[in-house]
Structure 1
Amino acid sequence: MVLTGADPADDAHILIAAEKSTVESVSFLVRYGSGLVCAALPGSACDRLELAPMIGADRNRANTEYTVSIDATGSGTGISAADRARTLRMLADSSSAVGDFTRPGHVLPARTAPGGVLDRRGPAEAAVDLATVAGLRRAGAFTALVSEDDQTLIAETAEAERFADAHDVAVVSLEDVVAYRRTMESHVRTQFAVVRNSDYGHIHCVGYRSDVSGVEYVAYSIDSSPSATTPLVCFEQEVDPAPHLSTGVATASLAAVADNGYGTVIVARRNDGRASTADIRADLAEIVRDCGYRSPFLRNFPAVERPLTLHLNGSISNPVAVPDSVIDATGAQIELGCAAYDELLGQIGATHFQTA
Structure 2
Amino acid sequence: MSIGTIKEALEHLRLGRPIIVVDDEARENEGDIVLSAQLATPEWVGWTIRHSSGYLCAPMTAERARALELPPMVQDNEDPKRTAYTVSVDASSGITTGIGASDRSRTLRTLADPLATPSSLIRPGHILPLIGVPGGLTERPGHTEASIELMNLAGLEPVAVIGEVVGDDGELLRLPQLLEFGAQNNVPVITIKALIEELDSEHPSGGAASPRPSVVADQRVIFEVETRVPTEHGVFDLRAYRDRATGADHIAIVSGTPHDGMLVRL
TM category (shorter chain) comes to 0.5 to 0.7
Deviations, residues 45-74 of structure 1 (Å, cap 9, x unaligned): 001111010126745424410000000012
The offset of 1:186, in angstroms, is 4.0
Task: Say whether the 8 Å CA contact 1:187–1:212 is kept in structure 2.
Answer: no
1:211 matched residue in structure 2: 214
> 2:101: which partner in 1?
81
Return the match for 1:105 from 125, 138, 153: 125
How high is the TM-score relative to the length of structure 2? 0.67
| 2:21 equivalent in structure 1 | 3
Q: What are the superposed Cα offsets for residues 81-111 of structure 1, whole Å, 9 maximum, x if unpaired?
A: 0010010011001110001100000000000
2:157 is equivalent to residue 137 of structure 1 = yes
Whether 1:155 aligns to 2:179 is no
Distance 1:212-1:59 versus aligned 2 partners, 3 A rule = farther
2:86 to 50, 57, 67: 67
Partner amino acid, structure 2, of 1:20: L
Deviation at 1:185, TM superposition (A): 4.0
CA contact (8 A) 1:42 1:138 kept: yes
Distance of 1:116 and 1:77 partners within structure 2: 34
Question: Who is 1:338 aligned against?
Answer: none
SS of the residue aligned with 2:80?
helix
TM-score, length-normalised on structure 1?
Answer: 0.51
Deviation at 1:12, TM superposition (A): 1.0
1:166 correspondence with 2:184: yes
Aligned length: 194
Structure with larger RCO (C-alpha < 8 A, sep 6+): 2
Pair 57,32 (structure 1): closer, same or farther in 2 beyond 3 Å = farther
Q: Which residue of 2 aligns with 1:90?
A: 110
The letter for the 2-side match of 1:187 is P
- Name the structure 2 match of 1:29: 48
| 1:49 maps to 2:63 | no
SS in 2 for 1:2: strand
RMSD (Å) for aligned C-alpha atoms:
2.4
Report the secondary structure of 1:19's partner residue. Answer: coil
Q: For 2:75 and 2:53, locate their aligned partners in 1 and report how far apart those are by CA, in whole Å.
A: 21
Runs of 5+ unmatched residues, structure 2: 1-18, 202-207, 218-256, 261-266
Identical positions, percent:
31
| 1:226-269, Cα deviation, whole Å (9 max, x unpaired) | xxxxxxxxxxxxxxxxxxxxxxxxxxxxxxxxxxxxxxxxxxxx
Using the alignment, how far apart are the partners of 2:134 and 2:22 within structure 1?
21
2:143 corresponds to: 123
Distance 1:59 1:65, change over 3 A: farther
Aligned 1:1-356 pairs, distance under 5 A: 1-7=19-25, 10-55=29-74, 58=77, 60-74=79-93, 75-148=95-168, 150-151=169-170, 153-183=171-201, 184-187=208-211, 211=214
Report the Cα offset of residue 187 of structure 1: 3.1
- Aligned residue identity for 2:88: S
In structure 1, the residue corresponding to 2:33 is in which secondary structure?
strand
Name which one, 1 or 2, has greater alpha-carbon Rg.
1
1:213: how far off? Answer: 10
